[in-house]
Amino acid sequence: MEQKEYDAILVDTSIFDSNGLRLESGLLGKLKQFAASSIEFIVPDVIKNEILTHLDKKIKISRSALEKAINDASDHVFFDGSVLNDAKNLIVGSDEIEGLASSRLNAFLVNTGALSLECNDYISVGELLKKYFANEAPFSETGKKKNEFPDAIILMAVEEWAEREGKTVLAVATDKDWERYCNNSDNIDYIEDFSKGLSYFNTATAPYALLDNLKIALSNSTASTFLTNIESGLESALYGFTPDQEANSQFYWEADGSSGKFNSFKLMDNNFTVIDTDENWVVIEAWAEIYVEAEGEFSLSTDSIDGDLIGLGSITVNAEDEFQSEILITISGDLNGDINELVIEDVEIVDQISVIDFGELELDYCDYY
């Protein structure tokens, strides 16, 4: 697809889901750039309701997991008379969680300056049914076509809005039915890569000279201070992270907690994408391989002759791991100047590691002698 200027952006629910519904951070957080721009961030009511449903479900799952963790900790942290019981009651008994999905979504729509589109104002039932029976995109010839009604309503409404307003729209989705529809649309183009889609709206103002300078400096190995500053940002981002513990053992084992920290990183290539810009800063995206190390505590036990578990004590295991992720780097300073004099304001990891395998767990027999 040719890079061109667009008047509006449409983001499908699939993109929100694939970005973990993290409305306040990551790539979804960068949609705030449209609040102060002439670009319309379109949120049809169908997508709004889908996001609300998915967000509410995720919050309920998270709350359930949190309550389980609190209950599991009751004997040692939230026991009768504990000074921390007020915190427990505040979390578990809070009425705010019930309306958290709605309040978060509403705040997101305000912060992004979203244009809420009432689909009913832009489509007719007759036109919708005509596409349905003719198997026209986004309806398929096979499968459960009724499941495609939301997509059809969204795309037809946005198409009509764009036609009335004389606008061109960039639709971001991971949906082949959307792609088929947009291929035949005069007003809507399709793209799957969210970060690349965001970069299309920075063409006029993004300091692309910075990207060229970065490529040259990295290729010539003259960006050591810049890389060191990114390393410091990653170290801060991963400070105190607590990964879930996986392991194998001939014994029964129970995870007693872990702590992780940043070790090192390397850029996977020298290609950067401008995600957001302002007068004084720019946010660029890069792909990095990030190396971490962690310390995990485990309790081991085994079966006795009568079938009861016998505790064998605790062990501490160290492990190293690596993962790949997009990182968002916020840069300020003279964007046309020396790469190593740029200020790295923030480094955000889009998909942080959540589980570390500590390998085979064995008893430290030295403890028994």
- 93 contacts: CB under 8 Å, gap ≥ 6: none
Q: What is the pTM of this model?
A: 0.70
How far, in Å, CA of 94 to CA of 104, rounded?
A: 16
Query: pLDDT digits over 247-272, tens only?
Result: 999 999 999 999 999 999 999 999 89
- Omega before 138 cis (within 30°)? yes
pLDDT of residue 127: 63
Phi, psi for residue 55 in degrees, rounded to 5: -65, -40
Which helix (H) or strand (E) segment is 106 a member of?
helix 100-111
Half-sphere exposure of 348 (CA within 13 A, CB side): 17
Cβ–Cβ under 8 Å, residues 177 and 140: yes
Selection from 95, 198, 92, 180 nearest residue 141 by Cα: 180
pLDDT of residue 141: 54
Other beta carbons less than 10 A from residue 346's beta carbon:
14
Cβ–Cβ under 8 Å, residues 309 and 303: yes
Which helix (H) or strand (E) segment is 229 a member of?
helix 224-237
Angle among Cα 203, 205, 209 to the nearest 5 degrees reads 85
Q: Write out the two tokens for 162.
A: 């764009």
In this structure, which long-range contacts are made by residues 176-184, counting pairs with CB atoms below 8 Å and at least 24 apart in sequence? 177/137, 177/138, 177/139, 177/140, 177/148, 177/151, 178/12, 178/138, 178/151, 180/137, 180/138, 181/137, 181/138, 181/151, 181/155, 182/155, 183/137, 184/137
pLDDT per 10-residue tile (average), the chain, 369 residues: 79 94 90 86 94 90 77 65 60 65 93 92 66 53 59 90 95 92 93 91 62 88 95 96 95 94 95 85 94 96 81 93 96 87 95 95 67
Q: Which amino acid is at 237?
A: A
Specify the DSSP class assigned to residue 233.
Answer: H
- The DSSP secondary structure of 176-218, one letter per residue, reads HHHHHHHHT-SSEEEES-HHHHHHGGGTTT--HHHHHHHHHHH
Cβ–Cβ under 8 Å, residues 320 and 290: no
**SS3 letters across 25-67:** CHHHHHHHHHHHCCCEEEEEHHHHHHHHHHHHHHHHHHHHHHH
% of the chain at pLDDT higher than 90: 55
Q: Write out the two tokens for 105.
A: 């979504």
Query: pLDDT digits over 161-187, tens only?
Result: 999 999 999 999 998 889 989 999 999
